[in-house]
Amino acid sequence: MSLNEIYDPNNIFAKIIRGDMPCVKVFEDGSYLAFMDIFPQTEGHCLVIPKTEGATNLLTAPASMLSGLIETTRKVAAAVVAALEPDGVRIAQFNGSLAGQTVFHLHMHILPVYEGRSIAPHAGGSPASAEALELLADKIRRAM
């Protein structure tokens, strides 16, 4: 997919927003949703998305959406740090398939970084169990 693709309302994140697909929620308000990445690159890997459909990436999003997305990302990242005590935290956002984007609904990655542990490749590996993700999500929710 290029940077100029038309938004697909059947992408996995749109299905999650509508409740057609499950997720392990970390935070939700009227505009944004944060949940555990089912293919985590590191322990505590979360995603933050706007609940409004239409923006495939940062470049197609209205400015009014971006400020809330950044603030929600900061809020969730702070809770991840408080709950899991990583040595660092990486915030990532990809635009277009050549840049590594695999779901074409604007989203932010929160990746805790731990000394001595590697980060798995993006969009690879095996899915984590819902039970393991729920344990991490519970810790993060309690830290908010």
**Is residue 1, in this structure, part of any structural domain at all?**
no
Domain encompassing residue 130: 12-143
Q: What is the CATH number of the domain that holds 59?
A: 3.30.428.10
**Is residue 7, in this structure, part of any structural domain at all?**
no
Q: Tens of pLDDT along 46-81?
A: 999 999 999 999 999 999 999 999 999 999 999 999
**Is residue 60, in this structure, part of any structural domain at all?**
yes
**Is residue 134, in this structure, part of any structural domain at all?**
yes
**Is residue 76, in this structure, part of any structural domain at all?**
yes
**Is residue 3, in this structure, part of any structural domain at all?**
no
- One-letter amino acid at 128 equals A
**Is residue 102, in this structure, part of any structural domain at all?**
yes
Q: Is 35 exposed, middle or buried (0-12, 13-18, 19+ CB in 10 A)?
A: buried
Domain count, the chain: 1
**Is residue 106, in this structure, part of any structural domain at all?**
yes
Q: Is 20 a residue whose pLDDT tops 70?
A: yes
Q: Which of 45, 105, 107, 109 is catalytic?
A: 107
Percent of the chain past pLDDT 90, that is, above it, reads 92
CA separation (Å) from 20 to 12, 31, 66, 107?
9, 18, 25, 18
| Structure confidence at residue 125 as a pLDDT band (50, 70, 90) | confident
| CA proximity to 27, closest of 62, 65, 74, 96 | 74
Mean pLDDT, rounded, for 79-85: 98
Is 105 catalytic? The answer is no
